[in-house]
Amino acid sequence: MCLAALLVLTAGIPASARELGGREIMVLVDERPDGEDRRSVLTMTLINKRGSQRVRQVESFSKDYGRDRKSVMVFREPADVRGTAYLSWEYDELDREDDKWLYMPALKKVRRISGSSRNEYFMGTDFTYDDMGRRNVDKDVHELLGEEQAMGHDCWKVEAVPVDPRDLYTRRVLWVSKSAHMVVQAEYYDKDGLVKIYRALDLRPHEGFWTLFHSEMDNVSREHKTVMTMESVRYDTGLDDDLFQVSTIQRGRIR
């Protein structure tokens, strides 16, 4: 059979019904529909090894600009972090470094997050600055390891090994839901072994899009956990471009 005929025959077959490679699966994750903009309110609970908890309320906004994305997170409670804001401009271009800023109201200053800080943990959570954004698919080499059930979903199991040897993790193992095209479980490894495990605990359709309502990052190396609970999510509300400016977070007037 000639190549043209084979392409015609496979073009109409759903991705879930034919064999995909690791990179193709991660492209599905990267390109899954999630609206043009999003706004949400969430509770972030930080739990240490003694079981002590710190609870923070956060409001989050993001908007797509073609294949680029701008996002801002604002801490509403408690008082010691109120008004802290994190702004990121994520670029699809592989070799272009994302721009990130953190506004600390106590200092009344905006700090630019440099590339060398991308592996630092964000605001005491178990997410690094690099974990917070979308990762270009071609920053890793992906290999399909098989198919498994995870977190109640039929999944592809994919190994991701970073191209850049300076990356914090030496590899990640990802379980990608075949129906949602989202990562529902992930294991992060460094040169010493398993660092942390991510789990999507409540993932379901909402306003026409698969939406994550409850998740956790269990940092086994620090004996620390971050639990994220979504209180509300809205899509395509027409967010204003001014929301995603450094001057806006510095004024502390994000609504």
Mean pLDDT of the chain: 91
Beta strands in the chain (DSSP E): 37-47, 53-65, 68-77, 85-90, 99-104, 109-112, 140-150, 153-162, 171-177, 183-190, 193-206, 209-219, 224-235
Query: Which residues, other chains included, contact 225 with Cβ-Cβ below 8 Å and sequence gap of 6+?
Result: 46, 47, 126, 216, 217, 218, 219
Query: pLDDT value at position 18?
Result: 60
**Least confidently predicted of 122-136, 189-203, 215-229:** 122-136
Counting Cα atoms < 13 Å in the Cβ hemisphere of 175 gives: 17
Q: For residue range 225-235, what is the model confidence (pLDDT) as tens digits?
A: 999 999 999 99
**Alpha carbons 232 and 34: distance in angstroms, whole number:** 15
Q: For residue range 26-53, what is the model confidence (pLDDT) as tens digits?
A: 999 999 999 999 999 999 999 999 999 9
Query: pLDDT value at position 8?
Result: 40
Percent of the chain having pLDDT more than 90? 78
Q: For residue range 208-219, what is the model confidence (pLDDT) as tens digits?
A: 999 999 999 999
Cα separations in angstroms, 182 against 2, 85, 99, 154: 35, 26, 25, 11
Q: For residue range 72-114, what is the model confidence (pLDDT) as tens digits?
A: 999 999 999 999 999 999 999 988 989 999 999 888 889 998 8
